Amino acid sequence: MRLKDKVAIVTGASSGIGKAIADSFVKEGAKVVYSDINNIDNLPEGAIFFKADVSSSEQVKTLISEAVSVFGSLDVMVNNAGIGSQGSILEESDANFAKTIAVNLSGTFYGSREAGKYMKEQGIKGSIINISSILGQVGFQGAISYCASKGGVMQLTKAGALDLAPFNIRINAIAPGFIETEMTKEILKDENFNNLVLSSTPLNRVGSPEEIAKSAVFLASDESSYITGETLFVDGGWRAK
């Protein structure tokens, strides 16, 4: 097992990419804290649930304290919790922009900071994984807040990697293309939008949460021990065009 005896936290783990990552970590031998603002039932053996809103730095601190209290350590932090957002630069409201940044970017910052602090104090050669998006690098009309937040995640990952490298703590990001999840399934039902996505994706399909989870397992494991500050694009070839 590639993550045997490692302790991991996965935020936004009630569904979609987060759940797939958390489930894959358990299968690879990790002890996992599934965290979300929504309750999660029927957890696998070797896992616990802890409710937390990542837009609150205090709740993120408590989340990490709980993981350490139950499992005795923290080796992997996956900052996956996020929200979708639609709105152009001319129409976006202050409130919606602020909320999107608070969850997608500030939440990732809080998780990276607090996990990094703990790992440094304990001398743990840990791995922090931030979930960005292809839209963090390419623009997308009508998604100003989301693009801004996910672009920020990429830069946070680069700068954070430089800060944490002296302590042998790695921090990387994954940038998925369009993945079929609860968050995207409704918009992908729109024929015009779906056709746009497929025509922009050389592999001519949307991805699955499990395909993102495989990348997360790699970045969490010792197989990626010389990789830090990188964003791994899992986008079906979107950026190749």
Assess contact for 31 and 46: CB atoms under 8 A: yes
| 101 SS3 class | helix
Task: Please give the Cα distance from 76 to 8 (Å, whole number).
Answer: 4
From the list 34, 118, 146, 226, the catalytic residue is: 146
Assess contact for 124 and 71: CB atoms under 8 A: no
Phi/psi for 48 (5° steps) reads -130, 165
Phi/psi for 182 (5° steps) reads -60, -35
Exposure letters 24-38 (e unless 16+ CB within 10 A, then b) = bbbebebbbbbbbee
Query: How does DSSP classify residue 229?
Result: S
Catalytic residue check, 146: yes
| 76 SS3 class | strand
Task: Please give the Cα distance from 171 to 156 (Å, whole number).
Answer: 9
| 139 SS3 class | coil
Q: Are strands 31-36 and 47-51 parallel, antiparallel or unpaired?
A: parallel
Residue given tokens 């500030």 in the structure block: 106
Structure tokens of 141? 């009309």
Active site members: 146
